[in-house]
Amino acid sequence: MVPFTEWLSQTSLSIAIQTHLWIIPTIQSIHIVGIGVVVGSVFMMNLRVLGWAGRDQSLQETVDRFGPWMSASLCVLLLTGMLMVIGEPARELLAFSFWFKMFLVAVGTVFASAFMMAVRRNEPHWEESLVKRRTTKWLAVLTLLIWATIIVLGRLIAYDHIWGSWSGTPRL
């Protein structure tokens, strides 16, 4: 990973991001706005599953309402995230927090996609049985915890040294 990191940091795009000091904070800010939209969407869908909000709307309606915002925001997050990796390769790619975060992003995305597809496929079945099951409610809580942990790990990239020897970021 280190040679790749070094190569990436020498690419013209990386150098452009590194030399214009306003770019990284701008990308980070857009990234946070995007996380806000994802968190808002995930939160509302899970509140619906838990029966704490929007109970007058069907699961299908809830997914139709928030799903597209979530998918669009995830695309923005992927793009801004990639720009941050290109701009600061060593800070991201050598960080334990970064890879742990990527793993949880993959899990969270799979959970969300599986949930939305299942709702689209057999809504009445979900409405009457699955949502009432305790496991589904626990899955909703777990999903919220996953996204909260993703946020924590995202912030911890800036403090990766707290992981001690697990962190590969250079201690200059």
Contacts of 69 (CB under 8 A, 6+ apart): 37, 40, 41
Nearest 5°: the CA angle 6, 162, 141 is 105
Which of 11, 26, 113, 129 touches another protein (CB under 8 A)? Answer: 26
Q: Does 65 bind another protein (CB under 8 A)?
A: yes
Site for another protein in 96-135 (CB under 8 A): none
143, 42 contact by CB (below 8 A): yes
Token pair listed for 37: 């939209």
**For residues 153-172, which are near another protein according to CB under 8 A?**
154-156, 158-159, 162, 171-172
Nearer Cβ to another protein, position 11 or 29?
29
Size (the chain), residues: 172
> Binding of another protein at residue 28 (CB under 8 A)?
yes
**For residue 48, which of 37, 39, 32, 61 has the smallest C-alpha distance?**
61
Residues of this chain that interact with another protein (CB under 8 A) are 24-26, 28-29, 32-33, 35-41, 43-44, 47, 53-54, 56-57, 61, 65, 69, 148, 151-152, 154-156, 158-159, 162, 171-172
